[in-house]
A and B are shown apart, each in its own frame.
Chain A
Amino acid sequence: MKIAMIGWEYPPFKVGGLGTHCYGLTHGLADKDVHIDFYMPKLRQKVKSDNKNITIIEVGEAEVYPYDRPDDKELGGKFFDAVYRYNDLLVQRMKGKYDLIHCHDWLTMKAAVALKEKLGIPLVLTVHSTEYDRSGWIYPNQWFIDIEREGMQKADRIIAVSEFTKRVIVEKYGINPDKITVVHNAVYPIGEGEKRNLILFLGRLTIQKGPEFFLKTAKKVLDYEDARFVIAGSGDMLPRLIEQAVHMGISNKVIFTVKLTEEEVKHIYKISSIYVMPSVSEPFGITALEAISAGTPTIVSKSAGVSEVLKNCFKVDFWDTDEMANKIIALLRYDSLRDVMRQSSKREIQLFTWDRVAERTLDVYRGLA
C-alpha cells in the first residue's frame, strides 16, 4: 500500500501535537510495510527521513509559522499567503501512483480535495483540532469553518482524535457520523528525571489552552504551599500573563520560559512534579501522555479528549481553579498520592502506542482500498 500523506510540520521542526502525530503515525505505518510519501513545506533546514518506507518530499518555499493565526496582521497575511502557495504547489507537484491521500487539519485541506479529484483516489482526513477548539469557542472564524467543512464533506473517511472531536464534527459541521472513526493519540515514552518542586503548564499561550486559569490556580496554591509554577510556551497572551502574575504578587514564583526546544521540553517534563493542562477546548492533548511518561502526575481539563481514555489522572473543569488548587495542594502534600498516581499512570500509558494508532489507521485505509 502506498500513501500520499500531506503534512505541515514534522520533527524536529514542529510546534504542536500535529507534528508529533505525523511522526508517530508514519513510523507506525512504515513498520506495517505501508509506503508513505510525506509531503511538507520546504524549510530552511532539510528534514531527513530515518525510515526506508518513508520518503519526505519538501514542497515550495513557505516558512512555517505558528500553527495558530498570528496576531500581527502583516505576519498573518504572509502566513495565509504561504498556506495558499503551499497548497497550490502541492496540487502541481504531486506525482506518482498512490492508493489514497491522507491529510491533516485545515492547512492542507484545499490541496487534498483538489488532488483527490485530480488523481481520482480516496481521501482520508484526520481532524486534530477544529476552528472551535482554536478559538476557545469564542467568535470562531467562519472562513476557517468553511474550509474545514468542505474538507470534511469531500473526505471519504475522517479520523477524529477523540469522541469529543467526533461530536464537534457531527454537530457543528453536520457530517455523517458513520464515516468518522475515533483513533486516540499515543506517546513515545520520555523517562523520568530528578523531580523538583515545579508545577508545569506547557502549550501555546492562547485562549484555547487556558493559561490564565493556571495562573489563578497558582495564586490559590501559593497561599498554602510553596512551589514554582512554570509556564512553558509562547503566544499572543504572553504579555498579559506576565502582567497578571505581577498584579497577583506571585511573579517571583512564576517562570515564563517562552518557546522551548524539543530537548528542553523533555527536560522540563522530567523535572516537573505536577503537569496541569487547563485547556478550554482540547481535541486530544498528547502533552498529558508525555508528562505522564516522564513520571509526572497530571491534571487535565474535562474538556480534553485525553480525559475520555485516561483513568489515572485528575479531571477538572478548566474554570474550576479552586478544585485545581485542591488537587495540586494534595499532590504536593502527600507522597502516597504522588507515588501511586505516578506508578499507575505510567503503567496505563503503556497502552498508548503509535503501533496501535497505525493499526487503527490502517483499518480505515483498508476500508477504502
Chain B
Amino acid sequence: MSTGVSPNMPSICFYFEVHQPFRLNHFSVFNIGNTRDFHSTYFDERLNQKIFEKVARKCYLPTNNLLFDLIRKYDGKFRISYSLTGTFVEYCEKYLPELLDSFKELFKTGAVDLIEETYFHSLSGLYDDLTEFEDQIKMHRQMIRRTFNYKPKVFRNTEAIYDNRIAQKIADLGYKGIITEGAEKILGWRSPNFVYKPVNANIKVLLRNYKLSDDVGFRFSARNWPGFPLTADKYANWMSNSFGDVINLFMDYETFGEHQWVETGIFEFLEHLPDEVFKHDNLDFATVSEAVERYDAVGDIDSPWAISWADEDRNVSTWLGNNMQIACFNELKDIGRKIKKKGDKDLLYIWRLLQTSDHLYYISTKGFEDGTVHAYFSPYDIPYDGFINYMNILQDLKEKAESR
C-alpha cells in the first residue's frame, strides 16, 4: 500500500503488447459465393507466415532472449508484463512452437506477469451488447490458463480502448486492474504516474505515460528529436526525476528490432536499462499486478466516451473514423447476429478472426502524419483497397450465414 511510500519513488511498469492479425487474401467480388474452405480463401497464409517468421527473427526471439538474461542477471528484480493475443498464440502454435516455449520460460522466472485481453484483439468492447466481448475475454482466459496455468489479474482492452462501460464490465468480471492511455482528456492536469479508479466501478486504472513510452516506441531513432540519441542512463535519469507512484511504459513488443531496427541500438538500450535504473535508489520495477496491489487510487477517472492509445487523437477514430470503417463495422455486427442465431461453430470462429481490429485499421484515411504510420503497418497500398477486400469477404461470410 502506498502509505509510507514517498511519491518520488516510482515503480517502473514495463508492459509489451504482442499481437499478430490474420491478414486477408486478395478477395474479389467474383469470389463471393464461390468459396468452400474459407480459412485458406479468406486469409493469406503465406504472407502471414512470412511476416510472422520475419518479426520472430527480428524481434520476438532476440528480445525474449535478452529479457530472459536480464531477469536472471538481476535476480528477478527486473520485472515485466506481457499481453499475448489469442491470434498471436495461434501463430506460435502453428509456425513456431519454440517461441511459445520461450514465453513459458520467461513466465516461469516469476518476474513476468500476463495481462488479459480479448482473444481476437477485437473492438467487441464497443458493441451495444457486451456478450461477445465477455466471450472473447473468457476465451483468452482459457488460453492463458491452458498455456501458462495462470489467471491474469489485470485487463487491457484492444489498443487500450476504454470507457466507463468497459471499466464496469471488467470490474464485474473480477479483475483488479485495467490499463488505458494517460490521455489529457480524462486526466486533465493530473499525472499518469498514479493509480486511479473509474467513477463508476471498483477497479484500479493504470495509465500509460505516453510521453516516456513514445520516447522509446516512436522517437528512439528520430534524429530531429531533441532527446536524440536516447541512452539508457539519460532515460533512467528522466524516470528518476519523475514524480509519482508508477511509471507505465506500455508499448508494442515490435518496438524492439522491428519498429526500431537493430541498427538503431535499441537492444543495447534495453540491455543497459536495468543497470542504469538500479543506479537510482528511488526506482524499481513492478509488474502490472504488483502495481495495482501496491498503490492506492488517488482519484477518479471519468470516460463516458471511448479513448485509446492510438494516433494523436487517442480515441477510436483510428478504427471508426470514416464511413467505410463504420459500414464494415455495422456489417460485421450484423453478420454476427445471424451467425449466433444459426449456432454454426466454424462460421463463428471465422467471424471472430475477422473482428481483429487491424482489418478496420487498414481502412483508416486519417491525416498525413498518422497516415504514414498506418501505411507502414498495412498490407494494402491504399485504404480503399482494404475496404473492398474486407467488405467482399464479409459479403461472402454473410451469404454463408444466411444460407447454411
Contact = CB atoms under 8 A, between A and B. Distances in A.
B322 A329 contact: no
B324 A340 contact: yes
Contact of A311 (B30, B324, B382): B382
A216 to B, nearest CB: 14
Contacts of B30: 220, 322, 325-326
A322 to B, nearest CB: 6
Given A330-B392, A339-B323, A224 B382 contact: no
B29 A334 contact: no
Given A224-B29, A322-B28, A322-B30, A314 B384 contact: yes
Nearest to B381: A315
If over half of B's interface residues share one DSSP class (helix, strand or loop), that class is named, otherwise mixed; here it is: helix
A323 B381 contact: no
Interface size class of chain B, counting residues whose CB lies under 8 Å from the partner chain? 10 to 19
Contacts of A224: 29
A341 B28 contact: no
B324 A330 contact: no
B381 A337 contact: no
Interface string A305-323: 0000001111100000011
6 contacts: A220-B30, A330-B392, A335-B323, A336-B387, A337-B324, A339-B323
Interface of A: 220, 224, 311-315, 322-323, 325-327, 329-330, 334-337, 339-341, 344
Listed residue (A313, A322, A340) with the most chain B CB atoms within 10 angstroms of its CB: A340
A314 B383 CA distance: 10
Interface of B: 28-30, 322-324, 326-327, 365, 381-382, 384-385, 387-388, 391-392
Contacts of B29: 224, 325-326, 329-330
A325 B29 CA distance: 8
Nearest to A225: B29
A163 B146 CA distance: 56
A314 B385 contact: yes
A194 to B, nearest CB: 21
Listed residue (B327, B365, B388) with the most chain A CB atoms within 10 angstroms of its CB: B388
Contact of B387 (A315, A329, A330): A330
A340 B28 contact: no
A335 B327 CA distance: 9
Contacts of A344: 365
Contacts of A336: 322-324, 326-327, 387
A339 to B, nearest CB: 6
Contacts of B327: 334, 336-337
A344 B30 CA distance: 27
A337 B382 contact: no
Contacts of B322: 336, 340
A326 B384 CA distance: 12
A76 to B, nearest CB: 41
A334 B28 contact: no
A339 B388 CA distance: 14
Contacts of A312: 382, 384
Given A322-B30, A326-B30, A337 B326 contact: no
Top 4 nearest A-B pairs by Cβ distance? A336-B323, A336-B327, A330-B388, A326-B28
